[in-house]
Amino acid sequence: MTDRRIYIGTSVTAPNDEVAAQNRRAFEERNLLAVNVMSSPGSGKTTLIEAMAGVLRDRMAVIVGDVQTRRDAERIEATGCPVHQIETGGACHLDARRVAVAMKQLDLPSLDCRIVVIENVGNLVCPASFDLGEHMKAALLSPPEGDDKVLKYPALFTRITALIITKLDLLPHMEFDVERVVRECASLNDDFETFKLSARTGEGVGEFCEFLLANQSALTA
């Protein structure tokens, strides 16, 4: 019988945090800004990344996590953007170790990009607790999901730097109070920017890309 001891008092995410710090240093050595993109399934993470590829072109690389299937990776590959898929095989979030492996596979030194987008598993709960080595977390929320989600999933909205309201083109068709979402996020978090965009029409996507590029410049200043 194997005997394993758990020493109470050590954070369960401590080993993850060490690898995350290594990832962050590796990104910075290449002057790369990493953004961890999180949302419910179907909020439009992959569609946003497709639209960003049209703006950022070879300045962006993507690491994409999915529980199962290569569907998202294939969509992003079709844009011509360098992409590496992490299939979590049941796990409900990415962790720093999986991202470290993906970074090697992407072969960052060979790329001439500025931004690495990490598309997390579709889930508003678990991904929020894991540092992947990113410089900022972004959360997507779309009108069909409802304007009551910020306070229901506070762990995520407390930690984000970018609040992205997606599917803006659906706003006329449903009841969704953007101001309520922003106000409730501000009640948890005093340091985030709000972006309103439609990845389908392209409206607002450029502004988010500019924000990332400005943060990448600040990194190297």
Residues found near a copy of itself in the complex (CB under 8 A):
1-8, 40-42, 66-69, 71, 90, 92, 121-126, 142, 144-146, 148-149, 151-155, 167, 170, 173
Q: Are 135 and 35 in contact (CB under 8 A)?
A: yes
Instruction: Identify which of residues 25 and 173 has a Cβ nearer to a copy of itself in the complex.
Output: 173
Per-residue exposure over 166-188, b if at least 16 CB sit within 10 Å of its own CB, e if not: bbbeeeeeeebebeebbebbeeb
Query: Three-state SS for 141?
Result: strand
| Nearest-approach distance from CB 186 to a copy of itself, in angstroms | 17
| Nearest-approach distance from CB 27 to a copy of itself, in angstroms | 27
Give 15-33 as a DSSP string.
HHHHHHHHHHHHHHHTT-E
| Nearest-approach distance from CB 160 to a copy of itself, in angstroms | 15
Helix H segments across 122-177? 149-152, 154-159
Instruction: Identify which of residues 1 and 221 has a Cβ nearer to a copy of itself in the complex.
Output: 1
| Nearest-approach distance from CB 156 to a copy of itself, in angstroms | 10
Instruction: Identify which of residues 90 and 109 has a Cβ nearer to a copy of itself in the complex.
Output: 90
Instruction: Identify which of residues 170 and 219 has a Cβ nearer to a copy of itself in the complex.
Output: 170
Instruction: Identify which of residues 137 and 149 has a Cβ nearer to a copy of itself in the complex.
Output: 149
Hey, what are 83's tokens? 């992409």
The single residue listed with the structure tokens 């569907």 is: 71
| Nearest-approach distance from CB 40 to a copy of itself, in angstroms | 5
Distance CA 66, CA 85 (A): 8
